[in-house]
Amino acid sequence: MQFMMVSRIDDESAIRYSRDLWEFLVAEGHSVLFEQETAAAMGVQGDPHPEHKSDLAVVVGGDGTILLSVQRMEKQIPILGINWGEVGFLADVEPGDAKAFLKSIRQGFAIEPRMRISLTRDGEVLGHALNEALIVTSRPAKMLRFTVVVDRVPADRFRSDGLLISTPTGSTAYAMSAGGPIVDPRIQGFLLVPLAPYMLSSRPHLISNDRTLEIRLESAKPATLVMDGQRSLQMGISGSLEVRKSSEPALFVDAKKNFFEKVDSKLRHL
């Protein structure tokens, strides 16, 4: 099999571990390609887009490394996340178990697709997000004004420090910290969570992805759009975002880890 390897580059122990894993995969008869930043950190040759030539990506890092990998892929391929971070909710395999898991993997392995959201403004696709898109004030201590439009009907208007547009996968990330519910990732929908809303009546919404969803920014203060904590765009003081289900989901190797067991072990027992 052809593997794509990505590693945290800010942690020497992660780089050493990735090198050891690379040597193990080669000894098992596999080929390994490296994304360019990982290659530079390891002193080997990299490839600008190894996903086009690989069967799956092995990502050594935390959720941030995995989210960045998904953002950078021109073509989504299955990811096996090896947890080298704090919580590592997107990483299903611990470092000590990775070799045994990789030794057992075969062509035709099971894949778990995860819905992403696509964000469009004035007909231009701004990007995609696996966890969430955040609209937040560009000036600290200033509030923004939003209108949420569902199926072309204004459904809510509120003022807040910002708004999280989350996927079910992202419900255990920033959205949960902001007071949103934990959502089964098999549910297909958009989770809207206002950040520090002015009115107590402004509550999170879970909206089916079958509906059209528009977020209107109607504020005198400038705002910034941040996708998965990796990409930022200036929105100015007004404008409209159309939120859709992305046609290309993120793909994860199914490591047979029950979602609710992960919630219990990774979140409730921190």
Catalytic annotation, residues? 63
Beta bridge partners, 134, equal: 164, 226
Token duo for residue 169: 């996968």
How far apart CA 54 and CA 77 sit, in angstroms, is 8
Could you please report the per-residue DSSP string of 142-180?
--EEEEEEETTEEEEEEEESEEEEE-SGGGGTHHHHTTP
CA distance linking residue 11 with residue 15, whole number of Å: 7
Are the C-beta atoms of 15 and 9 separated by less than 8 Å?
A: yes
User: 84-100 in b/e burial notation, b at 16+ Cβ within 10 A?
Assistant: bbebbbbbbbebeebee
Give the phi and the psi of residue 97 in degrees, each rounded to 5: -100, -5
What are the residues whose beta carbons fall under 8 Å from the beta carbon of 77, sequence distance 6 or more? 4, 51, 54, 55, 56, 57, 251
